[in-house]
Amino acid sequence: MALQNLDGHCVFSSEWNQHAKETYFQNYGEYPEGDITLNETKAKIPEKFDILCGGFPCQAFSIAGNQKGFNETRGTLFFDIVDIAKKHQPRVLFLENVKNLVSHDKGNTFEVIKNTLKEIGYAVYFQVLNSMTHANVPQNRERIFIVAFNEALVPNHADFQFPEAIPLTKTIHDFLETKQVDQKYYYKQDHMYYPVLSESMTSRDTLYQWRRVYVRENKSNICPTLTANMGTGGHNVPLLVDDFGIRKLTPKECFAFQGYPVNVLKMPEIADSHLYMQAGNSVTMPLIQRIGEQILEVIIKNTGCGVMDIQEKQAKWKQERPLFEAAFIHSHLLPFFNFNENTGDYEIKSEYENDEDRALSFNVLNTGWAMWLRAKRDAKAQAPEGFVLVSKEISLSALKEGLQYLPADCLSIDLEKAYLAIVKAQEQGHV
């Protein structure tokens, strides 16, 4: 999402956890490929792409003495990242890890990582950044970010700089629900720990953590580091006091503290434990976007590829983001139908035969929405080849009557009128 905000296009994703795959599908309309350590998964990676993004565990490294190099990374996920980089030669590797990666195994692990990347032709830059100092997100989350440039393709890589610190102007209240949440998140007064919690948790501006025998009070208006073990249950989820009692953060709030626009983020109907784990495993999205901006500046300066200036991109996104979010929320109101070249008609598909059909339809839908939003600037905007925008009335009527085909001349929609309707709905607070 962070790099998409900068007009990036994701061409491949990989995830082995089925619940994380479902969340990804809900938001992007496609299921990630599976285990990236398998050759059959790697074979699906497109030949050319610009940036490889990823993370990897450092615990699996086994290093003997002072041996430092590519061979010592075998059997780790980092080895697979390097394997992909060697084959596809992307311009940039953008990696994230826990801050302790630098000190793991007395610094040997990180030496292996740096030397291995240099060995395959990449210049390595790294820095530990905190979400609350570099992303204006009040979460105390320190992570190391590694940006490695392909020296042959990006000779001006020395121009790269990590983003500077920025003021923290937001508080936890910008990320918390203002209304009462589901009762399952509240502690009941007969809970065995309730007396200790109620005595210790006195501030509405503080998030707390239960630590077996005591309550830990965090800095005022700062969320503690969200971790994957929130998904293991118990008291790993930060606690707070609101107008209705003592409760845990909801999964939605945890994603908010990672910087996601929760008004458009879609969460599948899976157990909260999986959502908590996903939020804890995630990165802080605005921080990734800020680093991405710095990467883009270097790439654009080097390639002279005609990509618009980064400031222009930011202004464009700022203008279109509310409209995109409105459209994303209402995407079900504007179906797409496949064009049948043999009959000259637009074929209705009311059901998906398999997940691949479903994902394909979502991809085309998202492409169409991007086109539809730009109709305000181009009255001649056209739907993607082979697809057409269909009014809600026509589509519902056709589906109700069980039609399999519609004559092409009955399909039409006033793009400008539909666009203005979305804008008006936004202004009235309906979306």
Active site residues: 58
Q: Where are the beta strands (DSSP E) in 302-400?
A: 336-340, 345-347, 387-389
Instruction: End-to-end CA distance of the chain: give it in Å, rounded.
Output: 20
Q: Under DSSP, is residue 390 helix (H, G, I), strand (E, B) or coil?
A: coil
Q: How many CB atoms lie within 10 A of CB 233?
A: 11
Q: Taking a C-beta distance cutoff of 8 angstroms, is the pair 39, 80 a contact? A: no
The one-letter amino acid at 11: V
Query: Which residue in the block uniquely carries the two structure tokens 């430092």?
Result: 68
Strand partners, 406: 346
DSSP state of 286: H
Sheet holding 208-211, edge to edge: 214-217, 208-211, 239-242, 245-248
Query: Which residue in the block uniquely carries the two structure tokens 């699906």?
Result: 44
Read off the tokens for 76.
Answer: 């780790």
CA angle 217, 220, 223 (to 5 degrees): 75
Read off the tokens for 179.
Answer: 């209304």
Helical H segments across 233-332, by residue range: 251-256, 272-281, 285-303, 310-329
The one-letter amino acid at 20: A
Could you tell me whether strands 336-340 and 245-248 are parallel, antiparallel, or unpaired per DSSP bridges?
unpaired
Q: Taking a C-beta distance cutoff of 8 angstroms, is the pair 284, 138 a contact? A: no
The one-letter amino acid at 393: E
